[in-house]
Amino acid sequence: MRTLLSFRSGYETYVRDISVVFLLLLPLTVSNAISIFAGHLFNFADLADVAGKFFYFSNLLIGIYPTALCVITTYYLSVKQHASPMVVVPYALVMFIAVSLSNGLIAPSGFPNNPLAALCSAVIAVICCTAFRLFPLDPSRIDFVRDLYKQVAHFFAFLLLTYLSSNAVTWLIEESHQLRQDIALDPLTFSGGLAYQFILGLLGAVGINGHNFLFRAKQQLYADTQLNIAAWQSGDAPLNILGQGFYDAFMSIGGSGNALSLLLCILLFSKERRHTTLALSAIPLVMFNINELLLFGLPVIFNPMLVIPFIFVPLASFVIVYVTMSLGLVPPAGTTVDWMTPPFFSGYLATQNSVAGVMLQLTVVAVGVIIYRPFYLNYASASRLDSRSLFRNHEIERSVLTSFLGDVTQSMGGYISKHDVSRRVSRMLSRGEFVMYYQPQVYLNDERRVAFESLVRYRDPKGNIVPPTFISDFLELGAINQLDHIVIDLVIADMKTMPLDRVSRVGINVSVETISSTGFVDYVTERLNFYQVPAGALEIEVTEEAILDDLTQIQRNIAALQALGVKVAIDDFGAGYASFPHLLKFNFDKVKLDRSLLLNTKEERGQNLYQLLAKISEVTGCSLVAEGVETLDEKTFVQSCGINICQGYYFAKPMPLSDAQSWAMDVMQHESLS
């Protein structure tokens, strides 16, 4: 059962990802189809010059499609993996262009023209950049040079990987040529054509564009077809039955798997209203041989019941068309037509303006409907039964238009949301600046002592101070570690200007990701040494949530920090996580009681709990801080519990560095005068 659920989850993720990428590229694909259709219409109207412009535009869109596929796939996957697209996209383009140039995978227009290489480059680039978690360079940071050299080293290593990948592609191309010869994959022969069409269908059934995978074979088919057509037109050779026009006009009517037959099958025989809605929605795309909505909407891919006709309908069509043309009932395809040319119109053009070509396409579609019918009806019946089964809530079993579009919309919404977050974070890193505010911690029994907790703020280009609502953006983007490093650098730099002989300690809050990272202690050590700030003046505050994450690494980091002399406090204690055992496992120097505990002290039960927690110091030996003290009554109660250190608005709000320094000086002077 668990294995089945795992497969379903992986399947849904796979379908969702390729669906999102397809939808992002859909405007380009549809624009190409419209350009081709408009070009043919202007040709019929004897406006060759206007038609030529539309065909030129179509060729341009076809040329940039693989590059757009590379960029969009990289952008989508990098955002999904919380990596910066600004970093990852150049990596993918470098690999895609290098592999294409070194292996001759270039279109006449000069663009790299292998979509499979584009997809592989995108995936490899995302894996490499997420494995080492690179961030955009920030020239304003003091460690900019170090980060620059790290990224240069990483990029150089990626270039070596690109070189190896290019050689691997060269080897694969050579092996594929040999494999083609071994299995006689020659689309210009009857047996080779059947094998070629079978492989295309098999790849399409798992969501891979077979034409991309067999790109070299398709290139050779096109070149051989052009030579044959030229020889036929000059009277030097008969016109071959099998050629590019044969496959484009008759083997993909409505898209791979002769999807127009499946669409008509649904419209004619479906009792599922949702399937009918899906088919009606897919008509505008299928008429331009774009069938992804059907493939992902039913779905067809990885669906054994529909994969069988998806593969075998084109094979049956192959035999029907080949035999019909061999008998001379329909003229062979004497011209190549673009794969996006609408059905029936393509048959007319391919067979030299012959109505017989249209009739042959109609026959092929009708046979396809007959073949699809029993498989589709069984699938629809199984879907109705499964809707009442254990898996009724799973997307595979409820694969209809609403669920498909809903899933993709959700993914697109998440993608767009992360894109907006990425833009906000990038804008904050490149404009404005992060500044630190400091809130005092007052020692009730010794007012000559004072400590501070640092709190990050953002000053926008207009000088407005933005509260720390942006922290959630860094968390969502997976860049909170970078923000923590910025904060640590700013605080330690500020500490160098503080009167540390009077300010006993400055605390810094760190996130789960930062406190559990292996390089955290080294970074803190390097910053302390760089600014020549004593380690004993620094305090790292860890939330209860953080110590529930990676106990082993956190324990090592806390021990290493304390060995340096850095104090470690547990922050927001009692805010909702049952972590009392951690007070014994970790040797914390300080425990900060969350304000939520103080809010309940208006009742006797809350007072008893707070008084009980105040005894923690007697067991652990650590000092206690009462957070969120805002009134005199709260201060008096906390003091009656034996807690000596308080923090809250009753004493002072968070303030900029200059005000914090003045506040500390005023406290010291007031105490000395008294």
Same domain, residue pair 160 and 250: no
Half-sphere exposure of 356 (CA within 13 A, CB side): 13
Same domain, residue pair 357 and 446: no
User: What is residue 391's predicted lDDT score, i.e. its pLDDT?
Assistant: 39
Contact 99, 162 (CB under 8 A): yes
Taking 90 as the threshold, does the pLDDT of residue 260 lie above it? yes
User: What is residue 604's predicted lDDT score, i.e. its pLDDT?
Assistant: 86
Asked if residue 5 belongs to a domain, the reply is no
- Write the CATH number for 627: 3.20.20.450
Helix (H, G, I), strand (E, B) or coil at 623: strand
Taking 60 as the threshold, does the pLDDT of residue 237 lie above it? yes
Taking 90 as the threshold, does the pLDDT of residue 570 lie above it? no
Domain that holds residue 520: 432-673
Q: Please state, in angstroms and rounded to a whole number, the distance separating the CA atoms of residues 43 and 662.
A: 81
What the block records as the tokens of 271 is: 């009792």
Same domain, residue pair 24 and 104: yes
Q: Which residues contact 4 (CB under 8 A, 6 or more apart)?
A: none
pLDDT digits (tens, 9 = 90+) for 27-62: 787 787 788 778 878 887 888 889 888 888 888 887
pLDDT digits (tens, 9 = 90+) for 627-643: 999 999 999 999 999 89
Asked if residue 46 belongs to a domain, the reply is yes
Nearest Cα residue to 67 out of 101, 35, 33, 30: 101
Contact 438, 660 (CB under 8 A): yes
Same domain, residue pair 215 and 334: yes
pLDDT band at 325 (very low <50, low <70, confident <90, very high): very high
Mean pLDDT of 361-372: 95
Q: Please state, in angstroms and rounded to a whole number, the distance separating the CA atoms of residues 237 and 206.
A: 40
pLDDT over 70, % of the chain: 82
Taking 70 as the threshold, does the pLDDT of residue 674 lie above it? no
Same domain, residue pair 436 and 374: no
Mean pLDDT of 62-71: 86
436 strand-pairing partners? 456
Mean pLDDT of 591-601: 86
Mean pLDDT of 64-83: 84
Mean pLDDT of 136-150: 70
Same domain, residue pair 119 and 177: yes
Mean pLDDT of 461-489: 85
Asked if residue 7 belongs to a domain, the reply is no
Number of domains in the chain: 3
Chain-wide mean pLDDT for the chain? 81
Q: Which of 3-7, 56-60, 161-165, 290-294 has the highest mean pLDDT?
A: 161-165
Same domain, residue pair 301 and 225: yes
pLDDT digits (tens, 9 = 90+) for 388-404: 443 344 443 344 344 44
Mean pLDDT of 264-285: 85
What is the biggest distance separating any 2 CA atoms in the chain, rounded to whole angstroms? 115
pLDDT band at 438 (very low <50, low <70, confident <90, very high): very high
User: What is residue 392's predicted lDDT score, i.e. its pLDDT?
Assistant: 40
pLDDT digits (tens, 9 = 90+) for 155-186: 899 999 999 999 998 888 777 666 655 555 68
User: What is residue 177's predicted lDDT score, i.e. its pLDDT?
Assistant: 64
User: What is residue 400's predicted lDDT score, i.e. its pLDDT?
Assistant: 39
Q: Please state, in angstroms and rounded to a whole number, the distance separating the CA atoms of residues 427 and 513.
A: 23
What the block records as the tokens of 411 is: 């993914």
H helix and E strand count, the chain: 27, 10
279, amino acid identity? A
Same domain, residue pair 374 and 437: no
pLDDT band at 368 (very low <50, low <70, confident <90, very high): very high
Q: What is the DSSP letter of 137?
A: -
Asked if residue 2 belongs to a domain, the reply is no
Asked if residue 1 belongs to a domain, the reply is no
Contact 627, 647 (CB under 8 A): yes
CB burial of residue 466 (10 Å; 0-12, 13-18, 19+): middle
Asked if residue 104 belongs to a domain, the reply is yes
376, 399, 422: which is the final residue of a domain? 399
Taking 80 as the threshold, does the pLDDT of residue 137 lie above it? no
Same domain, residue pair 272 and 159: no
- Supply angle C-alpha 40, 42, 44, rounded to 5: 70
Same domain, residue pair 410 and 424: yes
431, 446, 480: which is the final residue of a domain? 431
User: What is residue 268's predicted lDDT score, i.e. its pLDDT?
Assistant: 93
Same domain, residue pair 581 and 468: yes
Taking 70 as the threshold, does the pLDDT of residue 564 lie above it? yes
Which of 138-142, 258-262, 413-417 shows the lowest mean pLDDT across its residues? 413-417
Mean pLDDT of 290-313: 81
Nearest Cα residue to 646 out of 443, 495, 464: 443
Taking 70 as the threshold, does the pLDDT of residue 618 lie above it? yes
Mean pLDDT of 277-292: 81
- Supply angle C-alpha 494, 499, 501, rounded to 5: 130
Same domain, residue pair 123 and 44: yes
> Where are the alpha helices (H) located in 480-631, listed in sequence order?
480-495, 512-515, 520-531, 551-564, 580-585, 595-599, 604-613, 616-620
User: What is residue 32's predicted lDDT score, i.e. its pLDDT?
Assistant: 77
